[in-house]
Amino acid sequence: MPEATGTDDIDGVQIDLISGQRMDGMASMEKIRMILDGVHDGNIVILEEGLTPDEESKLIEVTMAEISPDEFNGIEIETYPKSGPSDSSLLGRIMGNDESTAKLTVIGPANQIETLHKDETLISALVSRN
Amino acid sequence: MGLFTELKDSISRATDRLFSEQEPKRIGIYGPPNAGKTTLANRIARDWTGDAVGAESHIPHETRRARRKEDVEIERNGKTVTIDIVDTPGVTTKVDYEEFTDEMDKDDAVRRSREATEGVAEAMHWLREDVDGVIYVLDSAEDPITQVNTMLIGIIESRDLPVLIFANKIDLDESSVKRIEDAFPQHKTVPLSAKEGENMDEVYDNIAEYFG
Ligand SMILES: Nc1nc2c(ncn2[C@@H]2O[C@H](COP(=O)(O)OP(=O)(O)OP(=O)(O)O)[C@@H](O)[C@H]2O)c(=O)[nH]1
Ligand SMILES: [Mg+2]
């Protein structure tokens, strides 16, 4: 079961890696609920297979509804592999032109994932695992 | 014009519309905050109807409710294309009221951010249910490859909506239209400056062609 859970240390970051298999059996709103529950707890949620465009649109909508001052600022979301500007085939994959291509998706609380951005080794570890 | 002729005129206009094959297409103006969506909507509305749509501001999330301007008649090559334009709040995945506290006090900043989140949710809803085509506005002085742009374009494509990408703010030195064309090669990119009114002929030609 490719699901990893970090520790609950005060200064630790929990990472939930959710397999495509587990997501397959879930309804769209269940997926969104699971993602946002994780993010509300301060976790980084990694989806092995990402979301459909329709689910992404609902994720934005529900995220907006849950933003509240000094508590929750929203999410940061990234999909990998990230394309270079001139690589149109890769971009096509991210754009979802090829529905079958899984896109690893990382979602986290907006106020914390910035730290993740800066951590180059964590991002490259994610990319190489795919 | 006498009251009677005016009345007759407006009744015949209404029946025309009732019996015409198509309702005016509803064109949503989408894009990230501050790209110039309202400036564009205002320019289109002023050019063809004489009045404006909404307030423009350098502070992001100025537009916090989708605003519609109905029956904008655009004339191109002797033909008239009628569209409704919907100016939407800039889409984002996060809103932090502290972004605005330099410009206003905390209460106003908190209110602005709450309205912004409601507006973004509303804009997403419009996109799923209520628009027939999309003008996606980008600030050409900024990197177009962001997660929000990629996601939004993906959502628009998945709904099979006709889409034009507008590379706005070409009057700025840092503007790069090519960067946008390279990022979204599958779509037509139209360069313009909504603020200065540059290249508006090409803008209207493309609106007529894509949404007419
Ligand atoms: N230089 C330049 N500035 C522009 C142009 N179009 C808009 N702006 C400026 O960009 C800022 C944002 O413009 P708006 O039209 O309010 O942007 P918006 O996309 O509606 O923003 P939100 O409603 O906050 O999502 C304002 O300061 C405008 O004057 C342009 O073509 N060139
Ligand atoms: Mg606006």
Bridge partners (DSSP) of residue A15 are A44
pLDDT at residue A51, rounded to an integer: 93
pTM value is 0.84
Question: Which residue range forms the structural domain that includes residue A120?
Answer: 15-127
In a domain, A47, yes or no: yes
Domains annotated for chain B, with CATH where assigned, are: 22-211 (3.40.50.300)
Residue A68, min C-alpha distance to chain B (Å): 8
Residue A91 has pLDDT above 60, yes or no: no
Q: Check CB contact of B2 with chain A, cutoff 8 Å.
A: no
- Give the residue with greater pLDDT, A99 vs B35: B35
- Count of structural domains within chain A: 1
Averaged pLDDT for residues B42-62: 93
Residue B65 has pLDDT above 50, yes or no: yes
Residue B28 has pLDDT above 60, yes or no: yes
pLDDT at residue A4, rounded to an integer: 47
In a domain, A115, yes or no: yes
Averaged pLDDT for residues B17-42: 87
In a domain, A23, yes or no: yes
State percent of chain B over pLDDT 90. Answer: 83
Instruction: ipTM value, please give it.
Output: 0.85
CB-based pocket (< 6 A), ligand 1:
B 31, 33-39, 56-58, 60-63, 89-90, 168-169, 171-172, 193-196
Q: Check CB contact of B105 with chain A, cutoff 8 Å.
A: no
Residue A19: burial class (beta carbons within 10 Å; 0-12, 13-18, 19+): middle
pLDDT at residue A56, rounded to an integer: 95
Residue A13 has pLDDT above 70, yes or no: yes
Q: Quote the ligand 2 centre to A34 CA distance (angstroms).
A: 32
Residue B52 has pLDDT above 90, yes or no: no
**Average pLDDT taken over every residue of chain A:** 73
Residue A73 has pLDDT above 70, yes or no: yes
CATH of the domain at A100: 3.30.950
In a domain, A30, yes or no: yes
- Give the residue with greater pLDDT, A104 vs A130: A104
Residue A119 has pLDDT above 50, yes or no: no
In a domain, A8, yes or no: no
Averaged pLDDT for residues B26-32: 97
pLDDT at residue B3, rounded to an integer: 67
The closest of B156, B131, B133, B143 to B182, measured between CA atoms, is B143
pLDDT band at B181 (very low <50, low <70, confident <90, very high): very high
Instruction: Mark yes or no for CB contact A76/B94 under 8 Å.
Output: yes
In a domain, A5, yes or no: no
* Tens-place pLDDT, residues B110-166: 999 999 999 999 999 999 988 999 999 999 999 999 889 999 999 999 999 999 999
Query: Which ligand lies nearest the alpha carbon of B92?
Result: 1
Cβ contacts (< 8 Å) between A58 and chain B: which residues? 124
Residue A124 has pLDDT above 50, yes or no: no
Are the C-beta atoms of residues B158 and A53 closer than 8 Å to each other?
yes
pLDDT band at A72 (very low <50, low <70, confident <90, very high): very high
In a domain, A3, yes or no: no
State percent of chain B over pLDDT 70. Answer: 90
Residue A7 has pLDDT above 70, yes or no: no
Question: Edge-to-edge strands of the sheet including B25-30?
Answer: B67-76, B79-87, B25-30, B133-139, B163-168, B189-191
Instruction: Mark yes or no for CB contact B97/A69 under 8 Å.
Output: yes
* Tens-place pLDDT, residues B8-20: 766 666 665 555 5
pLDDT band at A112 (very low <50, low <70, confident <90, very high): confident
Averaged pLDDT for residues A106-114: 81
Q: Check CB contact of B130 with chain A, cutoff 8 Å.
A: no
H or E element: which one contains B144? Answer: none
Residue A88, min C-alpha distance to chain B (Å): 7
User: How many CA atoms lie less than 13 Å away from B128 in the CB half-sphere?
Assistant: 14
The closest of A68, A29, A128 to B117, measured between CA atoms, is A68
Bridge partners (DSSP) of residue B75 are B80
Q: Which long-range contacts (CB under 8 A, 24 or more apart) does B176-181 make?
A: B176/B140, B176/B141, B177/B140, B179/A85, B179/B140, B179/B143, B179/B144, B180/B138, B180/B140, B180/B144
